[in-house]
Amino acid sequence: MTMMRPLQLMLLALGFITSAATAQAPADLRAAMGARDSAIARVDAAAWDRLTASTFTVVQEDGVMMTKAERLTQFKAQKPTPFEPRTRERVVRYGEAYVARYLSGGAWLLELWVREDGHWKAAAVQVTTAKQ
């Protein structure tokens, strides 16, 4: 019984540390992430453009790398899709930037978020098919 109390405290602390790692993202960054996710589902090109850095690049599942202009052209031709929530998300700060890694719609996504013109914007995205 005496061993149980330290073990419980340790597990509680580990849970807090894990949630704190994801919770460290500022509220305005979380809002930008949510707004960009919504823009993608709705195919809202103006919102996507506003939330995407000028030097943005994406490496898609098929290995094709695109610039912001190339992706925006492709994006405008898409049809709206049901919103796919982020799962198994982890957001970590690296200096002034944040990296978000999460699972959504059968793919792992890795996003680099930076401040540009005073606003949070996605600067790079890597998409990889998730193994079943």
Please report the pLDDT score of residue 23 as a whole number.
Answer: 52
Task: Measure Cα distances from 129 to 23, 40, 63, 87, 132 in Å.
Answer: 26, 18, 11, 14, 9
Domain ranges of the chain: 26-129
What's the pTM value of the predicted model, to 2 decimals? Answer: 0.81
Check if CATH label 3.10.450.50 holds for domain 26-129. yes
> Residue 118: enclosing H or E segment and its boundaries?
none
Q: What is the 3-state secondary structure (H, E, C) of 53-116?
A: EEEEEEECCCCCEEEHHHHHHHHHCCCCCCCCCCEEEEEEEECCEEEEEEEECCEEEEEEEEEE
In this prediction, residue 16 carries a pLDDT of: 41
Q: What is the pLDDT of residues 54-99, one digit of tens each?
A: 999 999 999 999 999 999 999 999 999 998 999 999 999 999 999 9
Could you tell me the pLDDT band of residue 24, with boundaries at 50, 70 and 90?
Answer: confident
- Order across the sheet with 97-104: list the strands: 65-67, 52-59, 119-129, 107-116, 97-104, 87-94
